[in-house]
Amino acid sequence: MKAGRILLLLLCLNVVTFGVIADLPTCPASDLGSGCGDSDEWEGEFFPGIPKIKYEGPSTKNPLAFKWYNADEEILGKKMKDWMRFSVAFWHTFRGTGGDPFGAPTKNWPWEDGTNSVAMAKRRMRANFEFINKLGVDRWCFHDRDIAPDGETLEESNKNLDEVVALAKDLQGTKIRPLWGTAQLFLHPRYMHGGATSPEVGVYAYAAAQVKKAIEVTHYLGGENYVFWGGREGYQSLLNTDMGRELDHLARFLEAAVAYKKKIGYNGTLLIEPKPQEPTKHQYDWDAATSANFLRKYGLIGEFKLNIECNHATLSGHSCYHELETARLNGLLGNVDANTGDPQTGWDTDQFLTDIAEATLVMHSVVKNGGIAPGGFNFDAKLRRESTDVEDLFIAHIGGMDTLARGLRNVAKLVEDGSLPDLVRKRYKSFDTEVGALIEAGKADFEYLEKKAIEWGEPTVPSAKQELAEMLFQSVL
């Protein structure tokens, strides 16, 4: 580490010590060569003392080991790693600062020099791949502007991105690939009214150019999916918004993305990530059903799938299981952004999943879907502001992976035991009859059904057995 960098770090520590609410000092990307963030060199490991994480089984007391996730173990006919397809989210793990609307950043990762330079972006990318390799996953996710700094112009931003992407391609080697890439269309002030749904045509064009480039680099890196998260594609007030026109624009934008993807021979799956609100009051891709209806209305249903995020599900008033099932039943279950919210908090807290019952339901949906490839489980989750040790990054991911692995093991018990699926089947057994078959085939008209109702008289209505269903579910946790 250079002396100047040490001084800079000391300065940062002072800022924090004296409680001044200030961001880390940054250097503009164009300010290279002034001694500010001019080298991506780093001596030795980024995570010294942290070994490659191994499976040690449920009885281990080692926090840096898997207790339930055993990558090559077969469960329900597939290796655990093939069911899970875990991914590290670059933005939370390497750009998360711990800052919140009330307080300054709390994370002082040793490799950060306080700049937003291309050199710093490259050093951070090296840290990312050491992290991924030590954690033992094969996938990562990124936004364009998280991995490389914005330039003064679009051309300069693209140049910065190309430089960092070339390094990422090299560091990926033959095994690691992006689970998905995306364009960040929400941070820069130009996107304050949205990207594809901005009332300003120049912003629509800029957003299109940014997505074009992001699709290109995702393709170049071998990314299996490309995500659209419309954080600002919505409205704050309907009084100043032409909702019909904005929805039409969003559809035209997505059509253009499909056309471009095909033009460059990119075969990755395009994914919409529903979220009801935050940052806008109302987002157009509110939940899975709303997104499915939008795709159907505009003839895009065959071109997109959904990336279901558990915390977004609960913000929209649903459970994650409901959203996964809605996506699955529409043939749209493409990916899971694996996180969870806080039951007492009304916003997107992006926490690592730790609830075994929730993880079991999530995995139940994925197993019923026959797996999720080419999608996977992306940890769109961040450390709490107060967790500030480098090893916390590992502990959080290990915990999330073990929780989902435990969920998968529980689903195997549910399937093998068969009592819960049997309970559900029995509830509908009256439809496994000649009349039921006619109804399900769409061949029972109202006159025919009236005849049956008179013939049968008052129906006998059996118990739903909900408490028994809950007891059977609990028995596998």
Q: Which residues are catalytic?
A: 143
Size of the site for Mn ion (CB under 5 A): 3
Least CB distance to Mn ion at residue 142 (A): 12
Question: Is 380 one of the binding residues for Mn ion (CB under 5 A)?
Answer: yes
Stretch that binds Mn ion, among 246-254, 332-340, 412-420, 460-468 (CB under 5 A): 332-340
Contacts (CB under 5 A) with Mn ion, residues 196-215 = none
323 binds Mn ion (CB under 5 A): no
Q: Give the burial class of 336: count Cβ atoms within 10 A of its Cβ; 0-12 exposed, 13-18 middle, 19 or more buried.
A: buried
> Who contacts 334 (Cβ-Cβ below 8 Å, separation ≥6)?
225, 269, 271, 304, 305, 306, 307, 327, 372, 375
Nearer CB in complex with Mn ion: 38/337: 337
Residue type, 137: V
Nearer to Mn ion, 380 or 402 (CB): 380
Cα(106)–Cα(126) distance, rounded to whole angstroms? 22
Q: What are phi and psi of 460, to 5 degrees?
A: -90, 125
Q: Could you give phi then psi for residue 368, rounded to 5 degrees? A: -65, -25
**Residues recorded for the chain:** 477
348 contacts Mn ion (rule: CB under 5 A):
no
Choose the stretch contacting Mn ion; rule: CB under 5 A; options: 37-45, 123-131, 151-159, 331-339.
331-339
User: CB-wise, 160 or 311, nearer to Mn ion?
Assistant: 311
Q: Does the protein bind Mn ion through residue 337 (CB under 5 A)?
A: yes
Q: Is the CB of 323 or the CB of 380 nearer to Mn ion?
A: 380
285 is a contact residue toward Mn ion (CB under 5 A): no
Contacts of 162 (CB under 8 A, 6+ apart): 217
Among 40, 112, 150, 309, binds Mn ion (CB under 5 A): 309
Distance CA 125, CA 95 (A): 11
Distance CA 313, CA 318 (A): 5
Q: Does 350 bind Mn ion (CB under 5 A)?
A: no
Q: Is 233 in the site for Mn ion (CB under 5 A)?
A: no
Q: Give the residue with the Cβ less far from Mn ion, 40 or 337.
A: 337
Q: Is 402 in the site for Mn ion (CB under 5 A)?
A: no
Please report how close the Cβ of residue 233 comes to Mn ion at its closest, in angstroms.
Answer: 14
Tally of CB atoms within 10 A around 366? 25
**Beta strand ranges found along 199-290 (DSSP E):** 225-228, 234-235, 269-272, 282-283
Rounded CA separation 119/5 (Å): 13
Which of the residues 121 through 150 are near Mn ion (CB under 5 A)? none
309 or 323: CB nearest Mn ion: 309
> Is the Cβ–Cβ distance between 336 and 324 less than 8 Å?
yes
Segment near Mn ion (CB under 5 A); pick from 118-126, 280-288, 307-315, 394-402: 307-315
Stretch that binds Mn ion, among 17-25, 260-268, 297-305, 378-386 (CB under 5 A): 378-386
Would you tell me which residues interact with Mn ion (CB under 5 A)? 309, 337, 380
